[in-house]
Structure 1
């Protein structure tokens, strides 16, 4: 039996070392994949949100990270980032309707995850265990955006 996927569904996966250049490589990969598949309307937002997740993986873990880009069809797109920490940060630890407050204006960080709840249609996270990397530890954080919503945000904001 042969399985044929729709032209508007596809998946890319990228393994990233614990390297300060990982966020840049992830941004370039997202931009190339989305432009290559004719999804320019979501490039800027997906690139920004992906960069935030990969940067946090680098800053808060000592291990590698993985990036998974998935076109779900009908202009919907999902990004998943796996890293070696099992800690689920807000807003990923709450249902999408629950909002987290932005950090104070004097805080050094904390605004990146706020961007997820502002620009993603949905998001979530799963802890995968507390063991060593070889035992499947870490977490997966994901977000989804839709082409229609991103087009509206560009004109409304």
Structure 2
């Protein structure tokens, strides 16, 4: 059954590369329980990129926030302890096997809308990078 009421979850995560897997699996469970299995693939990709950046490029804790607003918008956001703007949208060097630098380009390609803002959380400065995807636009074919 499709979620008809709004809901929101937050997951505080340590600065640990395993947090990406925990976040992805938690998000999959949340979406499945709320009947939003159609959003799982693109939401996992988006959350993985946001949390990976938070864990890889900062030294402090991070948090994943997931929010649903009927009739069909999913917001995914990641807070981290670095107040600097997110990295470049496209890789500095365009090569087929370059792994670094593609995360935000994937977010831009797969999300309907994305953005960032400086943020204070529990007395710490940082930033919040977010994106949204609509239920009817739940496929992502980067290109």
- Scaled by the length of structure 1, the TM-score of the pair is 0.79
SS in 1 for 2:26: helix
From 41, 47, 51, give the equivalent of 2:48: 51
Name the larger-Rg structure: 1
Q: Where do 5+ consecutive residues of structure 1 fail to align? A: 1-5, 92-99
Distance 2:135 2:4 in 1: 16
Partner deviation per Cα, 1:75-108 (whole Å, 9 max, x = no partner): 21001110000111256xxxxxxxx445411644
Distance 1:21 1:83 in 2: 16
SS in 1 for 2:104: helix
- Scaled by the length of structure 2, the TM-score of the pair is 0.86
Q: Where do 5+ consecutive residues of structure 2 fail to align? A: none
From 22, 31, 35, give the equivalent of 2:32: 35
Question: Is 1:142 aligned with 2:130?
Answer: yes
Distance 1:7 1:107 in 2: 41
Matched positions, count: 138
Q: What's 1:94 paired with?
A: none
Tell me the CA shift for residue 128 of structure 1.
2.3
Question: Is 1:66 aligned with 2:57?
Answer: no
Task: Name whichever of 82-91 and 117-126 sits farther off.
Answer: 82-91
Structure 1 pair 108–101 and aligned structure 2 pair: CA distance change class (3 A): closer
RMSD, aligned α-carbons:
2.2
SS in 2 for 1:31: helix
Tell me the CA shift for residue 134 of structure 1.
5.2
